[in-house]
A and B are shown apart, each in its own frame.
Chain A
Amino acid sequence: MENSISSARLKQLWFLIRPYVFALGLAFLFTGVMLGLLGFNVWEAFKTLVTTSFSSRFQIVETFKKFTPLVLTTFAFAIPFQIKFFNIGSTGQMIMGGTIATILGLGISSIKMPSALAIILILTAAALTGAFYSLIAGALKAYHNINPIVSTIMLNFVAIQFTNFVATTPPWQAPLTGHPMSKELPEWMLLPKIFSELHVGFLIALGMVAFVYFIMKKTVIGYEIESVGHNLRAAEVHGINIKKTTLVTFFLGGMLAGLAGGIEVLGVHGRLVEGFAVTSGAEYGTFGTLTALISGAEPLAVPAVAFLMSILLNGADSLQRSLMVPVELVFLTQALIVILVVTMRERFKK
């Protein structure tokens, strides 16, 4: 009797993870073949890719440092995606957040105030910047039915130019540097560290995970968002305000991306640096989109997949450094994983 119950459970579990196993397997097979064809030691490469993150205390911290903005940009895509809207603007929202954080930080750098207050002020500003920047696309969709794929991408490019402007123009520009970057922010404004090198942004990110979980699972607005995602028309007929729901999802998504920008500025770089939202060959926003497509919108799946993704990203960096494998190969593998996961999921739904 007991055996049949547990074997039924196992079968259920297998059905659940089957598409992911197949997708990962195929993707890694492809990568392995590519690596082999290009003359790399396949075993070494995979070992480096997967184990680097656990190889030392430093590496663990590096992984968490990637996880922090990644989990936030993943939610930035995943929340509007709940109602079938594509927010590909998390890149723009993140860098606008970081840029405003820098401008504000430099602006108040001469005022005496407690560190904690400054940090809260700046991070809030970053979050709100991202939120309102995202809201532009959200409002264009809600009120004018303009496709968010197009509008968020356009806003990304605008943001990139704006950030470049800030980083290369006085009063913000750091003098005498080749690469566009701002002046340094004062030490007391930066995020304090725990475990020697890990900034508290990590804890803030974890806090946001809990926050998103709470909103999506426990509140009315979470139910409304989920319902609109299931069937917009039925939700509308039964009293759910579609415009409001659209705006809320874009606001929340942008808010988290903006926060990620602020955290990177205050916690990792200490200033605005062009390309601060890039890691392992692409933007955090892009990786967030990839991660969200794999994880789906479940608030508990998101951090799990984001963590796995961080391990891969960290490994990819190491792979390029030590074995000279172009980091684009891992990037390619990830895109492939997404395509495979998404198609396998559909295939196995029947």
Chain B
Amino acid sequence: MVESTSNILETRGISKRFGEVQALYKVDFSVRKGEIHGLLGENGAGKSTLMNILYGLYKPDEGEIYMEGRKVHIHSPQDSLKLGIGMIHQMSTLVPEFTAVENIVLGTEESGSRVRLDFSSARKEILKLSEKFGLKFPLDVKVKELSAGTKQKIEIIRALYRKAKILILDEPTAYLVGDEFDQLLKSLKVLVENGVTVIFITHKIREVMQACHRASVLKGGRMQGTVEIDKTTKEELVSLMFTGQNIDVTDSALPNVVPEPVKRSEKPICVVKNLNTRPIVKDGIVLKDVSFEVYGGEIFGIAGISGNGQKELAEAIVNPSIIASGEVVINGNPISNLSTIDIFKMGVFYTPEDRVYEAILPTASIKKNLLLGHHRDEAFLEKMRTLRWNRIKGVSKELIRKFNVKTPHEELEIRKLSGGNIQKVVFARALMNPIDLLVTHNPTAGLDMSSVKFVFEQLLDLRKNGKAILYLNEDLDELMIVSDRIGVLHEGCLVAIFHRDEFDKNRIGALMIGG
């Protein structure tokens, strides 16, 4: 129940521009004391930008911020911390090498003394808070060894240790499944009972309806309105979030597509047998005895929380050097001694999960980006290993047209494109030549709804043409929309495979966290 109707935090007319993109435009936003307030909007709507301004990491171009009726100036996190605002970011902002105690105590005053004598009083305080809010975690383990969910708990306690009155949570459920989400909700309720105000940023309508008292909707950087949750419907929220009529979305704001029945191939295109891998990063996870098959005409989804082996599985198929034992067979050919380029030439392609850091060359032209992975294709080479730039240019123009990439020409630096258009280039590159197997990892991360729809269309198209898709995604909602089957990875093991008619969010979610 909302205690009072006074605003604890308010923004008036906040605008922010990044280069040519207007991220926020004259946003008025207010939060009442003691409520859980949802900030809803699709990817790119400006939610994180607004919150980063409140937290002092970004400076607004114009506009004002008020706390409890008083105008305030927030120039850095030091200011927002003093005002009692705490933020838990989507990507962990803990120091990986430090323990939970060190992270929580970092930057705070220690009874005015210059020397860190001991953490004993801090530890007592931390344990008290942990107990009170039901957020438990090991105190003396290096944070880099903990799961994302645990790290999140530490970050919340970190804010509460500094007596935060307002807690901003940016997409807190990105790494939570099933039970963990319920636990988080419980903790939030306890927080609110203790006088803390919570701002909950998300793009999932369902979560807002479950957790929040009120919600404000951002679209394209503009505030669309604020509603009381018990007086609103999913449809109203959808209409606020998206433009255009006939928006058919699920309650996690995803395009509501239903794959048509497609007959899958007789023989599997990709066979993985007893696969064990080497770690990709120091002390990283390894796959243990993973076996499955992917057929033509099907989308085989892989569910799993980040860090449980999804990346390793995707990489093992295109980079056999990380295979320790077991085999991967594509169209009857084992790939263990092949190079990535050879595997691509066999009719496989891979779109990695981190669009900017792994999938593209940000400062290169669209043309050169399309060439990546195809730079040793016979079609592009003269006899003397020189590149046929004219041909490459022509193919680039073709692909830009075919995939409807919004750009004046192929020489534009790719990082100037929007996220959705970049993903179009990534797919154009993957689908340049006919392929039999597409390995794609989190292809829709951070994309707005129409771009997500584009990705789904590409995948379903491939499937219709009898090709195989290995679809790795940390978002279970997305997997359940387009996959024919879903395999669950937990700690490097493939623990179960579900057929579409067996899809059960709770069961799959439970297996993802090891239940």
Contacts and interface: CB of A to CB of B under 8 A. Distances in A.
Given A218-B386, A227-B368, A238 B373 contact: yes
A220 B376 contact: yes
- 3 tightest A-B contacts by CB? A230-B361, A239-B340, A238-B373
Contacts of A231: 357, 360-362
Interface string B354-393: 0001111111100010011101100001001111000000
A283 B239 CA distance: 69
The range of chain B's interface size is: 20 to 34
B57 to A, nearest CB: 19
Contact of A233 (B319, B344, B358, B371): B358
A16 interface: no
Contacts of A21: none
A202 B418 CA distance: 48
A223 interface: yes
A226 interface: yes
A227 B373 CA distance: 11
Nearest to B345: A239
Contacts of A317: none
Contact of A223 (B339, B341, B362, B375): B375
Interface string A260-279: 00000000000000000000
A350 to B, nearest CB: 9
Which applies to chain A's interface (DSSP): helix, strand, loop or mixed? helix
Contact of A220 (B357, B359, B385): B385
Contacts of A234: 352, 357-361, 372
Contacts of B361: 227, 230-231, 234-235
Contacts of B456: none
Given A233-B357, A234-B358, A219 B340 contact: no
A226 B368 CA distance: 10
Contact of B385 (A219, A230, A239): A219
A233 to B, nearest CB: 5
A237 interface: yes
Contacts of B427: none
A238 B348 CA distance: 11
A230 B361 CA distance: 5
29 contacts: A218-B387, A219-B384, A220-B385, A220-B386, A223-B368, A223-B371, A223-B375, A223-B387, A226-B364, A227-B361, A227-B372, A231-B361, A231-B362, A234-B352, A234-B360, A234-B361, A234-B372, A237-B318, A237-B340, A237-B350, A237-B352, A238-B340, A238-B373, A239-B340, A239-B341, A239-B344, A239-B373, A239-B375, A240-B375
Contacts of B339: 239, 241
B335 to A, nearest CB: 13
Interface in A205-228: 218-221, 223-224, 226-227
A238 B344 CA distance: 9
A239 B343 CA distance: 9
Nearest to B392: A223
B437 to A, nearest CB: 16
